[in-house]
Amino acid sequence: MTNLLEVQTREVLQEKPSGVLGFGRYFTDYMYSADYTEDKGWHNEKIVPYEPISMSPASQSIHYGQSVFEGLKAYKTSKGIQLFRPEENFKRMNQSLSRLEMPNIDVEASVDALKQLVALEADWVPSEPGQALYIRPVIFANEPFLGVRPANQYKFLIILSPVGAYYGDGQLQPTKIYVEDEYVRAVRGGVGFAKVAGNYAASLLAQSKAGKLGYDQVLWLDGVEQKYVEEVGSMNIFFVYGNKLVTPALNGSILPGITRKSILELAQSLGYEVEEKRISIEEVFGDVKAGRITEIFGSGTAVVISPVGEIKYKDQIATVPEQVGSVTRELYDTYTSIQNGTRDDVFGWIEKVE
């Protein structure tokens, strides 16, 4: 593995933040950077100080949105610093890149680069329960050209941000979700399955609307009939029917969450039945009201698991029987203890940072 760090001695550039970390507010001293051009492919891979980058005002990503990203975390554990399924993120990044007609990256080399960067920034990985180092890879077009066609120049950055515990006291909090029946997030044949910047731009108006109505998150319905449940904000969604977990089947417009996939595996190993299927919002409402759905939770890297306590759809409101249910809690505790190293990883999900 080549050493990507440009300088020989690591300088401490910033004071570490004290107090509440929040999410995505602080950035570490160094970042990974690489460039792509048509003739050279990916090149210029290096670890450089974190600082503003300069690019042309005509950079294509600003105008036409060729920008994809990823999100994962590193945890400080008694066994050292651990990453959770990093190759899954870079594989998914390639799927997103392909959908936007952007050049793929080398998954193994990207994991290696990430390990070097995290090892260099080891002091930045926070160690309180629930805290982590959030990792944000991003690739965007930076060719200065206003014609509409795939760019022939791209930049790949990995930046790091120490983040706080989502649940400060470790107590899961139920959220209220608003079922959006006017706007949609993604459509069949579109870019819903890809982690692309534009999907988030498209979601903000509905998120603000839900916020004004007193709801925490938007639950998206399918973009064709606005009838079937897709996902929540930046999380996939699970419905608990006693001993069985149901989640919407991946259909091209749902983001294939790595937490979703891991929870499905974990739940089965704990003896739960799991089912991926198309599920309508009417069915969900009926099942919540009849008490067949006992718990609902969202899953995603940032929050891990977020229990849902209430859902609003048009003029109906349904209160979920168990606000923070026992299944939700068991999955949360088991999952987070694999991540923080207090439980053995029998799944092979953990990658150690040397």
Ligand X SMILES: *Cc1c(COP(=O)(O)O)cnc(C)c1O
Q: Which is nearer to ligand X, 64 or 193 (CB)?
A: 193
Q: Which is nearer to ligand X, 17 or 71 (CB)?
A: 71
Q: Which is nearer to ligand X, 221 or 235 (CB)?
A: 235
* Cβ at position 37, least distance to ligand X in Å: 28
Q: Which is nearer to ligand X, 59 or 234 (CB)?
A: 234
* Cβ at position 258, least distance to ligand X in Å: 4
* Cβ at position 137, least distance to ligand X in Å: 12
* Cβ at position 69, least distance to ligand X in Å: 9
* Cβ at position 278, least distance to ligand X in Å: 17
* Cβ at position 16, least distance to ligand X in Å: 26
**SS3 for the chain, per residue?**
CCCCECCCCCCCCCCCCCCCCCCCCCCCCEEEEEEEECCCEEEEEEEEECCCCCCCCCEHHHHHCCEEECCEEEEEECCEEEEECHHHHHHHHHHHHHHCCCCCCCHHHHHHHHHHHHHHCHHHCCCCCCCEEEEEEEEEECCECCCCCCCCEEEEEEEEEEECCCCCCCCCCCEEEEECCCCCCCCCCCCCCCCEHHHHHHHHHHHHHHHHCCCCEEEEECCCCCCEEEEECCEEEEEEECCEEEEECCCCCCCCCHHHHHHHHHHHHCCCEEEEECCEHHHHHHHHHCCCCCEEEEEECCCEEEEEEEEEECCEEEECCCCCCHHHHHHHHHHHHHHCCCCCCCCCCEEECC
Q: Which is nearer to ligand X, 81 or 254 (CB)?
A: 254
Q: Which is nearer to ligand X, 29 or 262 (CB)?
A: 262
* Cβ at position 201, least distance to ligand X in Å: 12
By the criterion CB under 6 A, which residues form the site for ligand X? 71, 195, 231, 234-236, 255, 257-260, 299-301
Q: Which is nearer to ligand X, 4 or 240 (CB)?
A: 240
